[in-house]
Amino acid sequence: MIDPDAIYEQLTISLERLLVSKIPPDAAPHHQHYQEQWNAAVAHARSMLGARGESLASDLFELRLRVAMHLSPIDAIGYDATNPTPRHTLITDYLRAEFGRSDEGVPRLARDIASVLDRWDASRKRTSETADVLLRRQAGRCAHCGFVFDSWRSSRTDDVMKPYHESPEEFTSPEVDHIEAISGFGTNETRNLQVLCRLCNAGKGDGLGLDVRREAKRAADRIAEIPVADRVRMFYYVLERAERRCAKTGRDSTQCELTMRLVRPRGGFLRTNLQPEALDVAESTDLVKHTRLLHHPETRSSDGA
Ligand SMILES: [Zn+2]
């Protein structure tokens, strides 16, 4: 059995060796010390890249991917299939030029690296096929808000707190989301994937959360007039903070569809005054009209009415 901690340690050592052994301009490239370091690093990297063991497939794959990307130029990472130069050749050239190595192990290492990147590409293409599998795992619901896909025509979509009505077919469509972003080294392994409705995915956005200044600026506005982007971001945040659980019933989004409501109806549209509530127990969205009437006697009917 492979110990993941040991692999991480090995990986760190390997990468450090590869970086350390990069030849400084004033150093002799044939120096025995560098050669030994390089050979050891290549041996580590190769054993990592060529490792078999499906029980730890996803852990190993992440590690291999990190090594492979570290040792590849950008045109090999984002490889264009119409490129006449094979991927492994680009990597071989890069290893020689950037790491200053010309030994016989380089082309073989480059092929191993290229095959890891090929597999990465293939798994990205599989993402759309994976959506069906994920949806079954999530019992057909959005993993964040619990919306049951394909139900929007029959469910309430006029909720200004969860503004599906602003663009119903778009906002209620399923999207595959990376729980940990690829840019943060998230992978396409299914354990890092979930299906969200478009509205939740838009609310998650770049993951940077809510801007306090924007929140303060809009806090006293009528909810239907707060920009949709701000509302969906607030929606995502409020559910996430409460671990996707209804504040009234304790049910979570695997059991019911969630919306959000003001805790104190006369208070502002603020993260501290909002909570998730199951759609079937939440006050009607007419709430928006009458609570906001307190501030705006001339309140019109909300959008989509
Ligand atoms: Zn959702």
DSSP codes, 268-301: -S-GGGEEEEETTTSPPTHHHHHHHHTT-TT-PP
- Is 70 exceeded by the pLDDT of residue 23? no
What whole-number distance in Å separates Cα of residue 67 and Cα of residue 171?
38
Burial of 154 (0-12, 13-18, 19+ CB in 10 A): exposed
Q: Specify which of 6-10, 76-80, 154-158, 178-182 reaches the highest per-range mean pLDDT.
A: 76-80
- Is 80 exceeded by the pLDDT of residue 180? no
**Pair type for strands 258-262 and 193-197:** unpaired
3-state secondary structure labels for all residues of 87-129: HHHHHHHHHHHHHCCCCCHHHHHHHHHHHHHHHHHHHHHCHHH
Ligand 1 centre from 1 Cα, in Å? Answer: 39
Ligand 1 centre from 198 Cα, in Å? Answer: 7
What long-range pairs does 181-184 form, CB within 8 A, spacing at least 24?
181/207
Ligand 1 centre from 267 Cα, in Å? Answer: 25
Residue type, 269: F
Q: If you average pLDDT over residues 145-173, what whole number do you get?
A: 82
Q: If you average pLDDT over residues 276-292, what whole number do you get?
A: 69
Q: Which residue has the tokens 């609310």?
A: 203
What whole-number distance in Å separates Cα of residue 65 and Cα of residue 108?
17
Here the tokens at position 160 are 């200004």
Q: Which residues contact 148 (CB under 8 A, 6 or more apart)?
A: 140, 141, 155, 257
Where do the structural domains in the chain lie, given as residue ranges?
4-132, 138-302
Per-residue b or e along 21-45, where b marks 16 or more CB atoms closer than 10 Å to that residue's CB: bebeeeeeeeeeebeebbeebbebb
Give the model confidence (pLDDT) of 110-125 as tens digits: 888 888 888 777 766 6
Rounded to 5°, the CA angle 279-283-285 comes to 85
Ligand 1 centre from 265 Cα, in Å? Answer: 24
Ligand 1 centre from 255 Cα, in Å? Answer: 13
Work out the mean pLDDT of the chain and round it to a whole number.
Answer: 76
Q: If you average pLDDT over residues 80-92, what whole number do you get?
A: 90
What whole-number distance in Å separates Cα of residue 153 and Cα of residue 143?
20
Ligand 1 centre from 109 Cα, in Å? Answer: 44
- pTM passes above 0.75: no
Q: If you average pLDDT over residues 223-232, what whole number do you get?
A: 91
What band does 210 get if pLDDT is binned at 50, 70 and 90? confident
Ligand 1 centre from 75 Cα, in Å? Answer: 36
Ligand 1 centre from 188 Cα, in Å? Answer: 21
Ligand 1 centre from 18 Cα, in Å? Answer: 44
Mark the residues whose beta carbon lies below 5 A from ion ligand 1: 142, 144-145, 147, 197, 200
pLDDT at position 148 is: 93
What whole-number distance in Å separates Cα of residue 139 and Cα of residue 141?
6
Nearest CA-CA partner of 71 in 33, 42, 34, 103 = 42
Ligand 1 centre from 283 Cα, in Å? Answer: 19
Q: Is the distance from CB of 115 to CB of 48 less than 8 angstroms?
A: no
